[in-house]
Structure 1
Amino acid sequence: MTSPIKISAATVNQTPLDWSGNLDRIIRAVKEAKSEKAEILCLPELAITGYGSEDLFLSYWFPQKALSQLSKLIPECKGITVAVGLPIRVQDKVYNTVAVIENAELKGFVAKQFMAIDGVHYEFRWFTPWKANEVIQVEFEGKSFPLGDLTFHHKGIHYGFEICEDAWRGNERPGYRLKDRKVDLIFNPSASHFAMGKSQLRVELIEESSKIFDCYYCYANLLGNEAGRMIFDGEIMLGKSGVVISRNELLSFQDFQVRSFYLKPEVQNLQPVISKEKEFAQAASLALFDYLRKSKSKGFVLSLSGGADSSTIAILVSEMVKRGIKDLGLLLFCQKAGIPLPPKEITEPEKYLVGKLLTTAYQGTKNSSDDTFNSAKSLAESIGATFYQWTIDEEVKTYTEKIEQAIGRKLTWEQDDITLQNIQARSRSPIIWMLANINNALLLSTSNRSEGDVGYATMDGDTSGSISPIAAVDKFFILQWLSWAEKNLDQPGLKWVNSLQPTAELRPLERTQTDEKDLMPYSVILEIEKLAIRDRRSPMDIYLILNEELKLESSLLKEYIKKFFRLWSRNQWKRERLAPSFHLDEFNVDPKTWYRFPILSGGFTEELEQLDQI
């Protein structure tokens, strides 16, 4: 390699079918890279269309439209080399490619060789993997260009590509062949979904890749809640000789970020890998902001019970405003959120804007406690949310009396426990939906992943909502996070909720209902869930593993495992109907994105009977 040159990587917050917006963000990133005197710019995977375009990739017109956008981009690339992702259809096959443009001239397309097919990814449905070492010619605007396993030269630099999943395939990955071809630089344009703790794995990948391939390794990921569920953290990294020498701050509220660096092994302003608690706050708040503005909604409505789940969501909206203002500035935040600036006399603009964007309501019954009311009210006041309160006893009484008259008997807690609980949760739904409709706002559902596991949620009650922000996060984490947030996010309004034991408050107070009494300890649910859902272990495997790891009586552990699998099996229909949720952890239970399970099944009957035989 000759004298050092400057390269850039950019992250962009894209939206499927927002053709002009997507192109504008790419062009602005190109202009910024040029202003920083970069000679090569790498943009993320499928940056022109957005990664989350789903079955649009299968159509004939969609890849053609992506090519028309490429033709608009090419003239903007004078004086710089730009690599940008888009789908290419060749006859009946679609390829996930990176177009390389050098000084406003297209040079060719690199095709992705390995498809991501695990967890939230479904790439084999849309794309065909490219074969190593193969190159074909394709027509574009009346000329022929190479497509396939290509490398390129710039001045004295030889560079190639691994596209996202390509880099995660061990000894099969293209990087080994690129090393044999003696490249100096590998770009990795990615659409790698956010999950808590995943950034550290990427750091290790870039360190290892730059070392074993003996080259510079440059990584560029997409940014934001692109299409509703997956979040991209916008990570940019440059590695050399086993060391990450540059890394940006993640989860920005900006439309795009550009990070530039000279190809010389000097460590630049590294951003540390942050805790899972902080990652959760940053990712969920960005996802809420993107969902709000991309859905063109006017705010959020939340049934604030005073419990852990709804309190978590209220804090995330507060953090959305706080982080958004810090990242964008007050004016741009308000413009992107579609709300007016606070009046000049307002001394606490963050709280004022939370009040404009978040409306909450405490919907009490005779079974509700003063503790949860005080928790909800003090939290709403502390963050500035609009707060209403009313009771739903009248509605519950009306429904109950109607059904009693119809069936000719009184309902009792001894005979009709679930029915009497559910009608309270369902009676809250119509009026909170009214408030959301009045405000043209998104109704936030409060279900968490642990409840999704075992169906501990009332369908059309606490599951009602437009978006379910914490449905992919377990309750054990939420309880720990709330204690962390009280101190580390300066949220004193969480003092009340952190002093309470989680309860649905649907039975009479004298029955002392708690979630864990109804179910099992949330810490145990988490351990069973990780083995059953994440690792796909059998009930017997789980028993043998947890019997060694947990300090529980064997008989009690068996009962917990049986209860989990029985409740899991009979409640798949609920998971099928949950509102869309953000993917935030290493796995989730959403059948549309991560874990499919039959709605009707034998319910692990034989597998659970085996537990009684040991």
Structure 2
Amino acid sequence: MPPIKIAGVTVNQTPLDWKGNFDRITQAISQAKLEGAEIVCFPELAITGYGSEDLFLSYWYPQKALKQLEALAPFCKNIVVAIGLPIRIENKVYNTVAVIEDGHLKGIVAKQFLAIDGVHYEFRWFTPWQAHKQIDFDWNGEKIPFGDITFHYKGIHYGFEICEDAWRGIDRPGYRLRDRKVDLIFNPSASHFAMGKTRERKDLVETSSTLLNSYYCYVNLLGNESGRMIFDGEIMLSKEGKTLVRNQLLSYQDFQVVTFELANHPQQIAPIQPKEWEFVQASSLGLLDYLRKSKSRGFVLSLSGGADSSTIAILVAEMVRRGIQELGLEKFQQKIGIQITTGSNDPEKELMGQILTTAYQGTKNSSQDTFQSAKNLAESIGATFYSWTIDEEVHSYTQKIEEALGRKLTWEQDDLTLQNIQARSRSPIIWMLANIKNALLLSTSNRSEGDVGYATMDGDTSGSISPIAAVDKHFILHWLRWAQRELDRPGLAFVNALTPTAELRPLGNSQTDEKDLMPYSVIVEIERLAVRDRRSPADIFLILREELTSLDPKLLKEYIRKFFRLWSRNQWKRERLAPSFHLDEFNVDPKTWYRFPILSGGYAEELELLEQL
């Protein structure tokens, strides 16, 4: 192999931000040139952004992407640049990578396998390309090779697998590239982040370099591009089953350039971080991008003192801490469009006071413990903190209904109604605060609550974005203990000492979440089998009876019955949850991962079968 330097480039793009996307690409090309790179690979659909959704179906959008490609050509003098974009040919749109060499378009490779599982829906927009097929593409009067093609540069033969292409086993294009004796395979990707997923990718890239007998270079998009999916910006290079390059994931930078000289193998490997680190880094990056791309002026949070709202408060605090650490104070302030207004010995806390506004909204059913927990946490991270009670509003609503019905509402007869009105009464006033601040209201529901509908619609589900709606409560409780210790967040001590509770019934009732539902550790096991693995109630019982040996089988059946009944009854709530980040291997958001009918028979026959076991 000749001693040539290549570069993987990850960029944080935004659909319809044509100028911003273009500038980030050209700045990255300039940086790659400065570092001596001769071949540069950008991620899948880097010109437009992967999350362009039905814009891909329009005629004008792919055409404008081609215009952007044409405008990029002059920036590609004395370098080879491979970059992704959509291309429409007649009535079909293809997901492609264009290769520009020394300012001239050399060819265009089309993706052969489309992602259709989980959060991906590519068949709605794109048509898969056929193996071996090549056509001529008209580029300003010049015929350019298009389709299943490879390239040569200074003695190096290279080709492409585009994201999903690499995950198709024996059918993958890489085997045909091996037969063509390529030296280097690029994999430009738009692969969504999920905790622990990088280990799968590392295995894929290392195995691919061995099976395909080539250097294998993987390049992913970066950041919360368009709302729900977060891309981790991973860049990896492997040869003969050994990773030579791996960058640190989830950067706050607009782009990253990672160069590597082929035939010269000094390793540059960032460590694989634990899930707890991945969760906070991905969530804080997601919040940062959501904040700046929505052009909001901060966040507002109803801080209850409990686990969920406290988790979100820490994620915002980590957004600020990590942003300052990676970008520097001045650049971070420019990125979010919020400036410190007074001199301070603690700029991190001063920024937090401007970025995050919190409020504890108590009732006569709230405890001093949760108030103290919320107050201490807000003060420890520097967030603005307000507190008030909503008993007057609750009384007003309740009195009107009582007068209309001609009777008093009682906990014995109207338990759910009296709980929900408290949660809903908090919503209007916290929305007022968000409107006044021109800020995003953060919703606090988690995935376990989404499973069983243990959330008040238009109450604690109110919000512009729901950062932890794709994460289960069992993980959140574990993560809070980890964060107190590993992130040096002493304000979490009060939170971690509390038992999770909605505090909507009278204090003497000793209400807890797990008493209302079931242990969160059991919900996790049931949802793993029901949602991720799509198992029936009977299957789940037979599996968990063997796994959860300390749990009485009769009680296990009751938990499974409750899960499926509540799941079926509450699909309408999941349809209305605020947008959430995809952070785990699966989620229950019907817009991204798991669709379920709003109206159904509710597993009636399946639950009857469960009783017979």
Please give the range of the TM-score, normalised by the shorter of the 2 chains: over 0.9
Corresponding residue number in structure 2 for 1:104: 103
Q: How does 1:32-51 map to 2 (within 5 A)?
A: 32-51=31-50
**Contact 2:47 2:84 (8 Å CA) reproduced:** yes
1:562-594 Cα offsets, whole Å, 9 max, x none, are 000000000000000000000000000000000
Corresponding residue number in structure 1 for 2:412: 414
Following TM superposition, by how much is the alpha carbon of 1:340 offset from its aligned partner in structure 2, in angstroms? 1.4
Corresponding residue number in structure 1 for 2:122: 123
What letter is aligned with 1:464?
S
Corresponding residue number in structure 2 for 1:384: 382
- For residue 549 of structure 1, the aligned residue among 538, 547, 557 is 547
Could you tell me how far apart the structure 2 residues matched to 1:355 and 1:220 are?
Answer: 37
- 1:401 and 2:427 aligned: no
Corresponding residue number in structure 2 for 1:30: 29
Q: 2:53 is paired with a residue of what secondary structure?
A: helix
**Contact 1:6 1:263 (8 Å CA) reproduced:** yes
Following TM superposition, by how much is the alpha carbon of 1:505 offset from its aligned partner in structure 2, in angstroms? 0.1
Q: 1:466 is paired with a residue of what secondary structure?
A: coil
Q: How does 1:447-486 map to 2 (within 5 A)?
A: 447-486=445-484
Following TM superposition, by how much is the alpha carbon of 1:343 offset from its aligned partner in structure 2, in angstroms? 3.0
Q: Select between 259-268 and 78-87 the one with higher mean Cα deviation.
A: 259-268
Following TM superposition, by how much is the alpha carbon of 1:269 offset from its aligned partner in structure 2, in angstroms? 2.5
What letter is aligned with 2:147?
G
What letter is aligned with 1:14?
Q
- For residue 505 of structure 1, the aligned residue among 500, 503, 506 is 503
TM-score, normalised relative to structure 2: 0.99
Runs of 5+ consecutive residues of structure 2 not aligned to the other structure: none
State the Cα RMSD in Å.
0.6
Q: Select between 514-523 and 547-556 the one with higher mean Cα deviation.
A: 547-556
**Contact 1:245 1:265 (8 Å CA) reproduced:** no
Could you tell me how far apart the structure 1 residues matched to 2:99 and 2:539 are?
Answer: 50
Could you tell me how far apart the structure 2 residues matched to 1:129 and 1:269 are?
Answer: 35
1:60-103 Cα offsets, whole Å, 9 max, x none, are 00000000000000110000000000000011100000000000
1:4-26 Cα offsets, whole Å, 9 max, x none, are 10000000000000001001100
- For residue 358 of structure 2, the aligned residue among 357, 360, 369 is 360
Q: How does 1:14-163 map to 2 (within 5 A)?
A: 14-163=13-162
**Contact 1:110 1:148 (8 Å CA) reproduced:** yes
What letter is aligned with 1:505?
E
1:412-434 Cα offsets, whole Å, 9 max, x none, are 00000000000000000000000
**Contact 1:342 1:353 (8 Å CA) reproduced:** no
Could you tell me how far apart the structure 1 residues matched to 2:182 and 2:112 are?
Answer: 18
1:179-219 Cα offsets, whole Å, 9 max, x none, are 00000000000000000000111111111011111110011
Q: How does 1:141-220 map to 2 (within 5 A)?
A: 141-220=140-219
Could you tell me how far apart the structure 2 residues matched to 1:267 and 1:457 are?
Answer: 52
Q: 1:160 is paired with a residue of what secondary structure?
A: strand
Corresponding residue number in structure 2 for 1:318: 317
Could you tell me how far apart the structure 2 residues matched to 1:254 and 1:399 are?
Answer: 49
Q: Structure 1 residues 229, 212: closer, same or farther in 2, change over 3 A?
A: same
1:284-319 Cα offsets, whole Å, 9 max, x none, are 000000000000000000000000000000000000
1:321-359 Cα offsets, whole Å, 9 max, x none, are 001111111001001111113533x01111111111000
Corresponding residue number in structure 1 for 2:565: 566
Corresponding residue number in structure 1 for 2:521: 523
Corresponding residue number in structure 2 for 1:490: 488
Corresponding residue number in structure 2 for 1:347: 345
Runs of 5+ consecutive residues of structure 1 not aligned to the other structure: none
Matched residues, percent identical? 75
Following TM superposition, by how much is the alpha carbon of 1:605 offset from its aligned partner in structure 2, in angstroms? 0.1
Corresponding residue number in structure 1 for 2:331: 332
Could you tell me how far apart the structure 1 residues matched to 2:49 and 2:232 are?
Answer: 14
Could you tell me how far apart the structure 2 residues matched to 1:341 and 1:483 are?
Answer: 31
1:237-270 Cα offsets, whole Å, 9 max, x none, are 1100100101101100100000000012524231
Could you tell me how far apart the structure 1 residues matched to 2:370 and 2:331 are?
Answer: 36
What letter is aligned with 1:370?
Q
What letter is aligned with 2:118?
G
Could you tell me how far apart the structure 2 residues matched to 1:78 and 1:566 are?
Answer: 63
What letter is aligned with 1:162?
E
Following TM superposition, by how much is the alpha carbon of 1:141 offset from its aligned partner in structure 2, in angstroms? 1.7
Q: 1:334 is paired with a residue of what secondary structure?
A: helix
Could you tell me how far apart the structure 2 residues matched to 1:138 and 1:267 are?
Answer: 40
What letter is aligned with 2:354?
K
Q: 2:268 is paired with a residue of what secondary structure?
A: coil
What letter is aligned with 1:523?
S
**Contact 1:84 1:98 (8 Å CA) reproduced:** yes
1:450-497 Cα offsets, whole Å, 9 max, x none, are 000000000000000000000000000000000000000110000000
**Contact 2:339 2:351 (8 Å CA) reproduced:** no
**Contact 1:160 1:186 (8 Å CA) reproduced:** yes
Following TM superposition, by how much is the alpha carbon of 1:140 offset from its aligned partner in structure 2, in angstroms? 1.8
What letter is aligned with 1:155?
K
What letter is aligned with 2:380?
S
Could you tell me how far apart the structure 2 residues matched to 1:248 and 1:177 are?
Answer: 29
Q: 2:531 is paired with a residue of what secondary structure?
A: helix
What letter is aligned with 1:460?
D
